[in-house]
Amino acid sequence: MKKKLFIFSNESIFSQNNKFFCDNIDLKSSPEGLNKEFEVNLFARNSTKKRAHEIKIKKIKIFSNIFSYLSEVFKSTKIKDAKYLIISISPYTFFISLFLKLLGKTPIIYLRSDGFGEYKAILGMLGYIIYYIMFNFSALTSNFISCRNYILRGKKGKVIYPSQLDSLWLRKPKNIEINDYKLLYVGRIKTEKGVFSLVNLIKNKPNISLTIVGAERQTDYKINQSNIKIEITESNKAKLIKYYDDNNIFVLPSFTEGHPMVLLESLARRRPVIIFEEISHVIGDKKGIFVSKRNFSNFFMTLKTIKKNYTKIQKDMMKNKLPTNRQFIEQFTKAIGQYD
């Protein structure tokens, strides 16, 4: 019999006709993958906005307030030999981790991004201090699994390597010539993701266009530039791959990143990637990633370098050894199983 695994998330899930949808692909794929080994019960916050990805597991509960959420957390602790996995540290999930510890359970917290950097990007030093307090308390009450060693900040924890790649992503990519610069960004449209910084960087620049894939279906932000096209979050894998194939350079403008899966997707489609200095640690041994300063003259020089050497860069990218989603789920399952 499978062990029960309760997964707690601060993400929002939309429900319609007994189906559940999220925008973050990891909130879909990880529970689905782990459900092969565990009996997954996913708890998250309720969303009134439509979301892109249908989560195909049977046991999902969503809550409109912290009190109903905690009531179900309390009920879950009555299950013998269950495991408890919390996705990321936020004020919401931090409170849940403390509640679980008070009830005699030691949760596992999956650190899939650098919260120090994210909170600082949003709230400045106050955000850094808030996350510092939550992180260090969590280190005392929980076990950690992280996507990178540096995110653990010297604390004990297991490291795994997230990926969404499968055989479809790894098929031979479409050949493309680079004349004009057709840039692509796939991800959330949020300040800490640096997308507004990128938008300002290429404002009114000729021969440079940007496609952004990641808009919510209902949103209040507006980006009005003639060289920018905004698309909603794409749930169809083949259509998402086509966005990569139809553009020639991927830009990841984030101020902070842990293990960005869009970077792996771009490398799989052999599209060179530009990042900025703040996240140069994501390069590792990967070929085809270029670091730019966050000003137009250096950014444009990077674009020209890529254009001049495009064929050679793509040839070098073929040497990359990219992790797959199957390998990731195997690592994740093993790491969870090693914690009692």
Low-confidence ranges of the chain (pLDDT < 70): 217-221
- Give long-range contacts, CB 8 A cutoff, 24+ apart: 219-224: 219/189, 221/189, 223/189, 223/196, 223/199
Q: Give per-residue burial for 209-227: e unless 16+ CB within 10 Å, then b.
A: bbbbbbbbeeeeeeeeeeb
pLDDT at position 121: 84
**pLDDT at position 314, please?**
95
At 119-164, the pLDDT tens digits run 988 899 999 999 999 999 999 999 999 998 999 999 999 999 999 9
Q: Select from 295, 205, 184 the least CA-distant residue to 249.
A: 184
* CATH class, 181-317 region: alpha beta
pLDDT of residue 307: 96
pLDDT in tens, 230-265: 998 888 999 999 999 999 999 999 998 888 899 999
**What tokens appear for 288 in the block?**
């085809």
Check if 4-163+326-337 and 181-317 are the same fold: yes
How confident is the model at residue 218, as a pLDDT?
61
CA distances from 81 to 41, 222, 295, 330 (A): 14, 48, 53, 21
Q: For residue 154, what pLDDT is reported?
A: 95
Segments making up each domain of the chain, as ranges: 4-163+326-337, 181-317
Q: Which CATH superfamily is domain 4-163+326-337 in?
A: Glycogen Phosphorylase B; (3.40.50.2000)
> How many angstroms separate the Cα of 227 from the Cα of each of 94, 209, 254, 270?
41, 5, 20, 23
